[in-house]
Amino acid sequence: RVSESGVTITFDRVSFSYDQQENVLEGINFQLQPGKVLGLLGRTGSGKTTLARLLFRLYDPGAGSIRLNDVDIREMALSDLREQVGMVTQDVQLFQASVRDNLTFFKQQVSDAHIEQVLKELDLWQWVEQLPEGLDTRLAAGGQSLSAGEAQLLAFARVFLKNPGLVVLDEASSRLDPATEHLLEQAVDRLLQQRTGIVIAHRLQTVQRADEIMILEDGRIVEYGARVAL
Ligand code: ATP
């Protein structure tokens, strides 16, 4: 199953406040065409994570609208929206459940063969094989038993299994060992192929994958345009 070449995302004068007082995002306006990758930059607290959360509808905007392929995401069933949007965040949420259920979000119809293939492509299959019960091994909530690199790779595996048209990626900013870094770099490359992407980039290499760059400052867009090769 190959995903289509991605979806169109539109932010139409989106503002948002966590406390109904101060806007954390203010008048965010942009459109990203299918298959394009937007690199989101800005200091800590500038609103990058909040923008990503709005796309996944963890919150609704206080003003304006967000559309996927011209459908307001508030009009979509939450389950449909989350089928179309894959998220990889820095704090990977794991459930107290089997590795399989953690990967498929409890969807029964995903075959073990497919899971094995995806994990092999991420070099995670040996990790599963050394677990006492393989894919049936239960993980502890919070994922204490996983390294940061393994947790991010699992998050990538989830997205590959879901195969959404849009990926939102907040890559790990902490230093990982070089082998894991390399695996993650390759995973990001494959993930952004033929999908629309929004990446909160902490590495120069990731910024270089972006077609467009947006810089946020205090919740406003201060720079937006095609990435210029340096
Ligand atoms: P970082 O690079 O540190 O992740 P960011 O650019 O992603 O920062 P946000 O996390 O979106 O920034 O935060 C934007 C503003 O919103 C900050 O002032 C932050 O304190 C505030 N904020 C973030 N999450 C919440 C929340 N759940 N409740 C209240 N305020 C929040």
Instruction: Tell me which residues of the chain have a pLDDT lower than 50.
Output: 1-3
Q: How far apart are CA 228 and CA 190, in angstroms?
A: 22
pLDDT of residue 26: 97
Ligand 1 center from residue 106 Cα (angstroms)? 30
Q: How far apart are CA 168 and CA 2, in angstroms?
A: 18
Of 16, 25, 41, 46, which is best to mutate to test ligand 1, by the most ligand atoms within 8 angstroms of its C-beta?
46
pLDDT of residue 2: 41
Q: Residue ranges of the domains in the chain?
A: 9-226
Ligand 1 center from residue 18 Cα (angstroms)? 9
Question: 220-226 and 212-217: which strand pairing?
Answer: antiparallel
CB-CB contact of 222 with 62 (8 Å): no
18 lines ligand 1 (CB under 6 A): yes
Question: 196-200 and 212-217: which strand pairing?
Answer: unpaired
17 lines ligand 1 (CB under 6 A): no
pLDDT of residue 124: 92
Burial of 30 (0-12, 13-18, 19+ CB in 10 A): middle
- Which atom of ligand 1 is closest in space to residue 52's alpha carbon? 11
Ligand 1 center from residue 208 Cα (angstroms)? 25
Alpha-helix runs per DSSP H in the chain: 48-55, 78-84, 99-104, 112-121, 125-129, 148-162, 178-192, 204-207
What DSSP character marks residue 219? T
List the residue whose alpha carbon is closest to atom 30 of ligand 1.
18
Ligand 1 center from residue 45 Cα (angstroms)? 5
pLDDT of residue 4: 56
21 lines ligand 1 (CB under 6 A): no
Q: Does domain 9-226 have CATH number 3.30.365.10?
A: no
